[in-house]
Amino acid sequence: MEDIRVDIAAQQIPEKLYLMPLLSVVIYPYSVVQLLVRRKQNIDLIEHLQSQGIDILGLLVPKDPHLPEDADPKMLHPIGVAARIINTMRVGGSLQVVLQGIARIRMIEFLQEKPHLIGRVEDIEQPHVESAQTQTLLTDALRLFNRFISTNPRYSEEIIHIVEMNRQEGPGVISDLIASYINFRIDEKQELLELVDVDSRLRKLIDLLQRELEFLKVESEVQGRAKMEMEKAQREYFLRRQMEEIKKELGEGDQVSSDVATLKSRLEKLDLPKDVLELAAKEIGRLENMPSSSADYNVIHTYVETLLDLPWRIMTEDNLDIRKAAEILDQDHHGLIHVKERVLEYLSVLKLKRDLKGPILCLIGPPGVGKTSLGQSIARALGRKFVRMSLGGVRDEAEIRGHRKTYVGAMPGRIVQGIRKGGTRNPLFMIDEIDKISAERGDPASALLEVLDPEQNHNFRDNYIEIPFDVSSVLFITTANYMDAIPAPLLDRMEVIHLPGYTMEEKEMIARKYLVAKQREAHGLKESQISFSDEAIRWIIRGYTKEAGVRNLDREIAHICRKAAKDIAEGAAGPYIIKANSLEKYLGPIKHIAEEARTEDEIGVATGLAVTPTGGELLHIEATKVRGKEGIKLTGHLGDIMQESVQAALTYVRSKSEELGISQKEFEEHILHVHFPAGAVPKDGPSAGVAIATALASLMSGLAVRKDVAMTGEISLRGHVLPVGGIKDKILAAYRAGIPIVIMPEKNKNDLYDIPKEVERKTSFIYVNHADQVLREALVGGENLELK
């Protein structure tokens, strides 16, 4: 088992704790326990804590084990344990929780009963107090414990090693560990917990262990006799009876038999493949012979439930009517004509080939451009279930492939979790943010590759599930914000569709046709109660959002609907007609001034274009010179990263000084200062090359740069213009700012095939291979330059 314990000595127990009554287990400090929480109240509590980001809570055992859900908190033992939530997972209607005890606590007073119990507590743990007898008592206890474990077939000898390994944690921790491993009665366990003084605890433990050993002796005598006297069948009957007796004695027979009965009846009703059926039956058999409070019991119980929950054979029938699919895509989305076409082509191939062996669709674009909702539409069109999993922040291979179930708090990987949630073997499975995957443990990208590979994925093996699950009928679609960050082997398997973002006009249409109606409905409002003027929508887009997609636009509209809904619920008459001049009332003062084109032709400033996570942006690059010994100074966002681009641009400009009418002295006697405004992103650095060269050439030659030109392109030392990424985003940015002329690398010409018609109409594109052409077009009077 791997150790996921925190250092408990370093943990501070807050004075106020949320409290959870635990009926069947006592958790001790240090030990890690996996529980299946079934009480709704407790599940609600844990989910509440998680939503608040709280991970420490108090656990108290009731004085009466049959505590009703709404019992008086005074019915709880005042001494309990503070524990940390390590992990949780939904298992059917229950919640599997992994907890680690931290310290004994005493309840001082209850501060709140509803909806969740909160109390003021104090930490009463005495970590390192030892008397003269402590070591002797500890040795006795360990001796008895070892004997008990090694003679009792119901316990694994591994426990002895675990306890041994923790010797250096001190007698307090050791006595707690022993207490947690042995199935004493719950009241005895509580008594051990209440013994804060380590010597008294060890004495009690010794008593209890002695009694257990006695009991074991009697038991084995009975068994010995039984062996001699009885036929096999009778013996089995006897042993079973005996086990029932023992379980009854320990107060856990009912739980086990009801769990087992539930699992068995589920198993009978399900249509499972033979190997799954056999495995599940075998594991259920193991459960029958275990105490319900043991750690293994919960592990196996959760495992069997997971096996039974998985849709081994359940599939939906695909609806491959392409015309219908086109209708659905159109119903759900405005615009995106090329994207929809590619999706339909993809579905047509699926229809003809009837298998999923082709490449995997990968939708790439900034947030809020409709990647997820396209996925949902495709699922709807096909009649498949939709499941979604994000890989953002995945660093460990086990998150894809699962942990072995012997690992404390083990869970299946995200693929299996998703399939379980979807409930069919062939959902449309959207894997988000595949560009955000990284490798810290193992290789998550290659695990994912295996999931996506049609040659291997009929046999996908999750470490937790152990037997292979066939994911070859799953329709995987991936999404990413940037293409560059996708691991190359994954990218090879995919067919990329770009969604660069929307123009103002498209956003306005999306808001009018979709978002307003959606938010109205989500807030229980009618069309007669709230409406938005076109001008208001335009202003929300322009003044309150800054994005390539429409996510914030959606959010701001929701915001207004929420306020209106509240007023109406409180009795306001309405109707609410949202106009541009009422936006401030709802959304506060304007947040974003749209990036603007320069208003004048200026010397030493060029308008570059960059790609950021919210789409394209203008990048006004400024250059000035001050007297001093020849040199360059870079400032502003990413100044350092731009170093090479600036050097290349400068070398080019110097090589053209004669044509530009610049004397060499100008370079020798000045420090050139280039400033980069915020907004540029590192990997986009080189694409500012032509803009830097233009700013420098303008500065040195005294020719102004035209205000109506924006540009992008990398340049070489000799002035060749090289292609760059993100062309569509960049063009949209220029268009949004009202810049009519865009200079771009000739080699990027093909990227223009699906830009919106209106953008194409209103923008002139100038394709260039060399920076000379850039200067001719961008500098005022540039057409007269005799650049060779």
Tokens matching residue 63: 């004085």
**Cα-based distances in Å from 172 to 167, 175, 572, 588, 598:** 10, 5, 64, 59, 73
Residue 362 interacts with ligand ADP (CB under 6 A): yes or no = no
**Cβ–Cβ under 8 Å, residues 182 and 206:** no
Contacts of 220 (CB under 8 A, 6+ apart): 151
- Taking the complex as a whole, the smallest distance from the CB of residue 318 to ligand ADP amounts, in Å, to 23
**Cα-based distances in Å from 331 to 11, 318, 347, 362, 633:** 54, 20, 17, 22, 54
- Taking the complex as a whole, the smallest distance from the CB of residue 483 to ligand ADP amounts, in Å, to 14
Which of 59, 121, 362, 369 contacts ligand ADP by CB under 6 A?
369
687 is catalytic: yes
Cβ proximity to ligand ADP: between 385 and 675 the closer is: 385
Which of 172, 367, 409, 412 contacts ligand ADP by CB under 6 A?
367
- Taking the complex as a whole, the smallest distance from the CB of residue 23 to ligand ADP amounts, in Å, to 42
Angle at 424 between CA 521 and CA 258, to 5 degrees: 100
**Cβ–Cβ under 8 Å, residues 54 and 18:** yes
Cβ proximity to ligand ADP: between 367 and 418 the closer is: 367
Q: What is the DSSP string of 215-226?
A: HHHHHHHHHHHH
* Span interacting with ligand ADP, options 334-342, 675-683, 698-706, 717-725, rule CB under 6 A: 334-342
Which of 104, 333, 342, 706 contacts ligand ADP by CB under 6 A?
333
Cβ proximity to ligand ADP: between 86 and 560 the closer is: 560
Residue 334 interacts with ligand ADP (CB under 6 A): yes or no = yes
Which of 80, 171, 311, 370 contacts ligand ADP by CB under 6 A?
370
Catalytic residue among 189, 385, 728, 730: 730
- Taking the complex as a whole, the smallest distance from the CB of residue 572 to ligand ADP amounts, in Å, to 27
Per DSSP, 28 falls in state P
Q: Which residues is 58 bridged to in the sheet?
A: 19, 82
Residue 615 interacts with ligand ADP (CB under 6 A): yes or no = no
Task: Report CA 284 to chain centroid distance, whole Å.
Answer: 33
Residue 328 interacts with ligand ADP (CB under 6 A): yes or no = no
- Taking the complex as a whole, the smallest distance from the CB of residue 576 to ligand ADP amounts, in Å, to 21
Residue 368 interacts with ligand ADP (CB under 6 A): yes or no = yes
Handedness of CA 553, 555, 558, 559 (dihedral sign): negative
Angle at 93 between CA 90 and CA 99, to 5 degrees: 45
Cβ proximity to ligand ADP: between 334 and 542 the closer is: 334
- Taking the complex as a whole, the smallest distance from the CB of residue 22 to ligand ADP amounts, in Å, to 40
Report the distance separating Cα 213 and Cα 223, nearest Å.
15
Residue 511 interacts with ligand ADP (CB under 6 A): yes or no = no
Cβ proximity to ligand ADP: between 448 and 510 the closer is: 510
Q: What is the DSSP string of 501-544?
A: ---HHHHHHHIIIIIHHHHHHHTT--TTTEEE-HHHHHHIIIII
Residue number of the CB closest to ligand ADP reads 370
181: phi > 0 → left, psi -120 to 50 → alpha, else beta; which?
A: alpha
Cβ proximity to ligand ADP: between 292 and 519 the closer is: 519
* Span interacting with ligand ADP, options 152-160, 364-372, 399-407, 602-610, rule CB under 6 A: 364-372
* Span interacting with ligand ADP, options 73-81, 288-296, 369-377, 578-586, rule CB under 6 A: 369-377
Site string for ligand ADP, 531-570 (x = CB under 6 A): ------------------xxx--x----------------
Q: Under rule CB under 6 A, how many of the chain's residues touch ligand ADP?
A: 17
The one-letter amino acid at 491: L
Per DSSP, 169 falls in state G
**Cα-based distances in Å from 491 to 342, 434, 435, 443:** 17, 10, 10, 16
Nearest to 26 by CA among 123, 129, 104, 117: 104
Which of 307, 381, 510, 648 contacts ligand ADP by CB under 6 A?
510
Residue 514 interacts with ligand ADP (CB under 6 A): yes or no = yes
Cβ proximity to ligand ADP: between 382 and 690 the closer is: 382
Residue 28 interacts with ligand ADP (CB under 6 A): yes or no = no
Name the helix (H) or strand (E) containing 709: strand 709-711
- Taking the complex as a whole, the smallest distance from the CB of residue 545 to ligand ADP amounts, in Å, to 12
274 is catalytic: no
Longest Cα–Cα distance of the chain, Å, equals: 116
Nearest to 682 by CA among 711, 648, 725, 715: 725
Nearest to 287 by CA among 270, 302, 266: 302
Tokens matching residue 118: 């909160």
Tokens matching residue 383: 């009649």
Cβ proximity to ligand ADP: between 499 and 703 the closer is: 499
* Span interacting with ligand ADP, options 309-317, 327-335, 412-420, 485-493, rule CB under 6 A: 327-335
- Taking the complex as a whole, the smallest distance from the CB of residue 510 to ligand ADP amounts, in Å, to 5
For helices 198-229 and 134-151, angle between their N-to-C axes, nearest 10 degrees: 20
Catalytic residue among 377, 687, 698, 701: 687
Report the distance separating Cα 537 and Cα 398, nearest Å.
46
Cβ proximity to ligand ADP: between 551 and 633 the closer is: 551
Residue 73 interacts with ligand ADP (CB under 6 A): yes or no = no
Tokens matching residue 762: 């209103």
Contacts of 30 (CB under 8 A, 6+ apart): 5, 8, 100, 101, 166, 169, 173, 176, 177
For residues 192-251, which are near ligand ADP according to CB under 6 A?
Answer: none
Cβ proximity to ligand ADP: between 498 and 730 the closer is: 498
Residue 770 interacts with ligand ADP (CB under 6 A): yes or no = no
Among all residues, which ones are annotated catalytic? 687, 730
- Residues forming the site for ligand ADP (CB under 6 A): 333-336, 367-373, 510, 514, 549-551, 554
